Structure 1
Amino acid sequence: MLGILVVAAYLAFWPVPIRAVGWQAPAAPGYQGAHAVNAKLAGQRRIPLGAEQGPEHVVFGSDGLLYTAVASGHILRMDRDGGGQAVFASTGGRPLGLAFDAGHNLIVADAIKGLLSVAPDGKVTPLTDAVDGKAIGFANAVVVATDGKIYFSDASERFTTAQWGGTEAAAMLDVMEQSATGRVLEYDPAAKRTRVVAKGLSFANGVALSADQQHLLVAESGRYRVWKIAVGAERLDVATPSPQAAVLADNLPGYPDNLMRGTNGRIWLGLAGQRNDLDAMAERPYLRELALRIPRFLWSMPKPYGHVIALTEDGKVVDDLQDPSGASALTTGVTETADRLYIHSANGGSLGWLAK
């Protein structure tokens, strides 16, 4: 009896790092309609990355070379087939989002170091790591406008990569808590000023610019949706209705991650994992806290499921590629070229691509 009481007390009262917040999760749409099950993402060709893991984001430079950010803190550079693979720069953190500016500098959203600029010779320069006197704890994705301004996401003010030993652990805690402290930030290189564009996002993730560059498309991983937010917004709280923000794509079948503009007006979005038991716990925050007291090996985990989609600027799904086999690593996005789709991954040991 004493043992039962001890276990019950542990499950009820042992401290956990989250202060779970209740919310209403929409019923998962399942794999039907625009997201009908398919295997279009299967059969990827692979570029081995040696000892490196997690090609989270991929961009091409004006030199025609491919750049990708990996978990070791390196940014790798190679040709389109993986030849000449070498370390271009090391940030000392965990680089995630990548984008080139007009001066051919590689702008990096680093989950530990903040927003960085890497010169063509590989020299790393910090741009910003704080806003309004508060640290940027989880810089995630980045895009550069033609006027030089840089927009990037700060996924969570509550759970940082440095504090929790990795991006996946911090992301899991943030999504389980649902305190919605994610933000979208703007850095103006000319004024050297950082400001908050929008806040109140449950794990702010991928960012892309609309074709006219008047709006940002922002993935909100924890609520399965993508927002369209005016670039001129100032400290906009997405929880409060505003003409400057609207949901572009809602109730997605997985966790939306990187957003990347492709060809023919398409906007590619990675879905990093399937919907799971957290939906059933949405309005029962105490169950999410209880789950953290249970050993991870007892959790019910969905198998790996590769999934990326392409949207139009009005949110219509125009392409959907899946790999139900479990062979794909955690798919976070797509970089499209004239003849290929490069598949981003948070935890794979190679970079996958498909011929178009």
Structure 2
Amino acid sequence: MKKIAKVSMFAALLVAAYLGLWPVPIVPVSWTAPTPPGYTGIHAVNQRLAGARQIALGGEVGPEHVLLGPDGKLYTGVASGKILRMNADGAALETYADTGGRPLGLDFDGAGQLIVADAVKGLLSVAPDRSVSVLADHVGSEAIRFADGVAVAANGKIYFSDASQRFAPVRRDTMEAAMLDVLEQSSTGRVLEYDPASKAARVVAGGLSFSNGVLLSGDQRWLYVSESGKYRVWKIAVDAAGLDVRVASPQAQVLLDNLPGYPDNLVRGAGGRIWLGLSGPRNDLDKMADKPSLRKLMLRLPRALWPEPKPYGHVLAFTEDGRIVADLQDPSGASPVTTGVTETAERLYIHNVGAGSMGWIKR
């Protein structure tokens, strides 16, 4: 019995040492999370996103962003590194290009080049002949570690997010890197501008907790930027330079705050409204906001015990002044990680970073 007790005590000490001392990749920062608004009011639970029809992607996974091209076809990047192109009904599916990385945000420039925010490769361009080139993978001497959303201005300048300077996707796994960045809350995300004339990138604004979707305002003077880690959407002046959004400035304001989930892609819809995907509902991480040591402890537990967002489809639309005009949900979990919406005359295509198909509903 004494031997068993000693073995048990030794095992307990080993477990305690592991839980308290084993290295983890994050250096968590304490912060104050706002009280979740819950699914009430404008966000009251509904089924408006339920029953989405599906377009097969030929075995590919992860249509994280969907773009309606000038040719009337749909473009989407998937986890294999390919950019797929198809008709509006999913027919004529083909591989348009292969970046060799993880293409996320997409937009076309005035010359017909497909501009790609690739989480692994940086800011890319796919020419009409489908050749792929790197526009920017550094800002000065600093590497672009997690290019995410992208928007091309009428003057040709390109705005895109570098979601984290701390965590880059490993083996194209953007979800793992995103989760680590949100857990750490070091707020190293930033918004960058690439100028084709100078062939150089500069920092527009930083201090963001996982900067995500990027969209230009109608007058091209402002950028709407999703800050996933703090559940909000910013409005930031395009002519800002090295702005830290954590310091009050007339060049940056929070447009949507304390959202019920993690804001992701931003896409212009009909009538000027802006569609936003919420990639998952908030969870017990809010309770750990001011407990950095608890977040470190959590990473030492088996992955199955981590408080990941439950599958919950949720997208919404808002006006440029921040008024929410549509809220669509699917509580069933059939649309697990709804990263955004692309609106056409007849349909809403649902972006989804983890799905093996592309969902759509009638507009």
**TM-score > 0.5 by shorter chain:** yes
Deviations 1:151-179 (A, max 9, x none): 000000000014x7510000000000000
Alpha-carbon offset, residue 48 of structure 1: 0.4
2:30 is the counterpart of 1:46 = no
What is the match of residue 28 of structure 1?
36
1:3 and 2:3 matched: no
Quote how far apart the aligned CAs of 1:299 are. 2.9
Give the Cα–Cα distance (whole angstroms) in 1 for the partners of residues 208 and 25 of structure 2.
19
Structure-1 residue corresponding to 2:5: none
What are the Cα deviations for residues 109-152 of structure 1, in whole angstroms up to 9, with x where unaligned? 00000000101221111101000211000000100000000000
SS at match of 1:258: strand
State the shift of 1:65 in Å. 1.0
Aligned to 2:208: 201
Which whole-Å CA distance do the structure 2 matches of 1:301 and 1:96 have between them? 21
Deviations 1:278-327 (A, max 9, x none): 10000001110000000012234443000000011111110000000111
1:22-58 Cα offsets, whole Å, 9 max, x none, are 0000000000001000010011111001210000111
Please state how far the C-alpha of 1:64 moved relative to its aligned partner. 1.2
* Matched letter for residue 79 of structure 2: A
Out of 188, 193, 200, the residue aligned to residue 186 of structure 1 is: 193
Match for 2:54: what amino acid?
A: R
2:310 is aligned, of 295, 299, 303, to: 303
Structure 1 match to 2:67: 59
Paired with 1:165 and 1:153, the residues of 2 have a C-alpha distance of 17
Partner of 1:119: 127
Residue by residue over 1:237-266, the C-alpha shift from the partner in whole angstroms, topping out at 9 and shown as x without a partner, is 001000000000000000000001111121
Instruction: Please identify runs of 4+ aligned residues in structure 1 that moved more than 2 A.
Output: 298-303
Do the aligned partners of residues 166 and 244 (structure 1) sit closer, same or farther apart at CA in structure 2, a change above 3 Å counting?
same
Letter in 2 for 1:327: A
Is 2:112 the partner of 1:101?
no
When normalised by structure 1's length, the TM-score is 0.98
Tell me the distance in 1 between the aligned counterparts of 2:175 and 2:185.
15
Match of 2:90 among 63, 82, 92: 82
Paired residue for 1:174?
181
The residue number in structure 2 matching 1:294 is 301
Indicate whether 1:319 and 2:326 are aligned. yes
SS at the partner of 1:264?
Answer: helix
Question: Would the aligned equivalents of 1:61 and 1:104 in 2 still touch at CA under 8 Å?
Answer: no
Amino acid at match of 1:295: P
- Structure with higher Rg: it is 2
The aligned amino acid for 1:15 is: P
Q: 2:101 touches 2:172 (CA, 8 Å); kept in 1?
A: no
In the other structure, the counterpart of 1:335 is 342
- The question of 1:349 aligning with 2:352 is answered no
The match for 2:161 is 153
Could you give the per-residue CA deviations for residues 199-233 of structure 1, whole angstroms, max 9, x where no partner exists?
00000000001110100000000000000000000
Distance 1:172 1:259 in 2: 20
What is the aligned partner in structure 1 of residue 6 from structure 2?
none
Share of identical aligned residues, percent?
66
Distance in 1, Cα, partners of 2:152 & 2:305:
43
Aligned residues: 355
**Matched residues in 1 for 2:13 and 2:326: separation?**
53
In 2, distance between residues paired with 1:300 and 1:251?
19
- C-alpha separation in 1, matches of 2:340 and 2:98: 22
Tell me the secondary structure at the aligned position of residue 67 of structure 2. Answer: strand
Rounded Cα–Cα distance in structure 2 between residues aligned with 1:120 and 1:322: 37
Equivalent residue number for residue 232 of structure 2: 225
- The one-letter code matched in structure 2 to 1:56 is E
What is the SS of the residue equivalent to 1:314? coil
Quote the residue 1:273 is aligned against. Answer: 280
1:313 is paired with a residue of what secondary structure?
A: coil
- Answer whether contact 2:148 2:160 (CA < 8 A) is retained: yes
SS at match of 1:180: coil
Q: CA RMSD in A?
A: 0.9
* SS class of match (1:122): coil
Cα distance in 2 for partners of 1:117, 1:244 equals: 29
The TM-score, its normalising length taken from structure 2, stands at 0.96
Query: Which residue identity lines up with residue 279 of structure 2 in the other structure?
Result: A
Match of 2:22 in 1: 14
Matches of 1:41 and 1:187, distance apart in 2: 36
Structure 1, unaligned runs of 5 or more: none
